[in-house]
Amino acid sequence: MADWSPTRYLRFADERSRSFRELVARVAELLAAREVTPSGVVDLGCGPGHLTGVLRSHWPDAAVTGVDSSPAMIATARELHDPGTTYIEGDIADYAAGRLSVTGADVVVSNAALQWVPEHRSLLPDLRDSARRVFAFQVPGNHDAPSHRLLREIAAREPYASALGAPVPRRATEDPGGYLDLLAGPGWGVDAWETTYTHVLHGPDPVLSWISATGAQPTLHALQDADPALRERFERDYGAALREAYPERPYGTPLEFRRVFVVAARG
């Protein structure tokens, strides 16, 4: 897949960052109750680095490392954000296997990234064990929402199906109870929950703009590679379906977005 676009991703930065802020706040509350101040924090799937300030606001003296597989995201993070943070281009699976030069993290967090990692469930015990104190993450739980269902349905039609060569996968994530089963064990306590946000988006075709920067991006890139005109046609068909599924209201376009949160803590 072509690289991610930091500019498109950041269009809805406030809405996308809310889950990260709430996840980190829960971690900070837990550590404060134990009178623990982390010295090292790792952000897996850090994107363009725009949320480093959230980590700094809670733990200003910690050594923070951001990890992302996107060269464009890492380049933006290094250029635009906290110079005291180390940014590493790397894969989450490589981090889980200890193949990246990142060690000694008290806290490991990941926001809306693990769903992109093949078989991410199998990596969770190693990711958990890489944290001396807390492993916390959030993943979207909306893969059966109209936005994603319509993406799969329209991509399965011709001429798109032939150009793509394979169905658009449903990137399955667990419910809170499933992650609890995977991560709970001797020496670990796990808090798992879900939240459905209702974001109010603005502008032309805002749901298409939202998902084009994330969930639909692999499909759009594949169609672009096959035929730019085919991508434009797909965006017209997909955009029309999204406008019907997410009608604009006088105050904007509401988008319901379910997210699953997990905080695993030692002791």
Full 3-state SS string of 100-168? CCCCCCCEEEEECCHHHCCCHHHHHHHHHHCCCCEEEEEEECCCCCHHHHHHHHHHCCCCHHHHHCCCC
d(CA 77, CA 68): 10
Assigned token pair, 66: 């951001």
Assigned token pair, 214: 């994330």
Give residue 213's pLDDT.
83
CB 219 within 8 Å of CB 151: yes
Rounded to two decimals, what is the model's pTM? Answer: 0.91
d(CA 222, CA 218): 6
Asked if the 6-266 domain carries CATH number 3.40.50.150, the reply is: yes
Q: Can you give the pLDDT of all 267 residues of the chain as single tens digits?
A: 455 555 565 576 788 889 999 999 999 999 999 999 999 999 999 988 888 889 999 999 999 999 999 998 899 999 877 778 999 999 999 999 999 988 779 999 999 999 989 889 999 999 999 999 999 999 999 999 999 999 999 999 999 999 999 998 887 799 999 999 999 999 999 999 999 999 999 999 999 999 988 888 889 999 999 999 999 999 999 999 999 999 999 999 999 999 999 999 998
Give residue 1's pLDDT.
46
Question: Which residues on neighbouring strands pair with residue 111, listed in sequence order?
Answer: 138
CB 210 within 8 Å of CB 201: yes
Domains in the chain: boundaries: 6-266
Q: What DSSP string runs through 40-97?
A: EEEEET-TTSTTHHHHHHH-TTSEEEEEES-HHHHHHHHHHS-TTSEEEE--HHHHHT
d(CA 150, CA 107): 37
Assigned token pair, 152: 């799969």
Give residue 6's pLDDT.
56
Give residue 10's pLDDT.
58
CB 265 within 8 Å of CB 193: no
d(CA 165, CA 182): 34
Element (H, E) at 180: helix 176-183
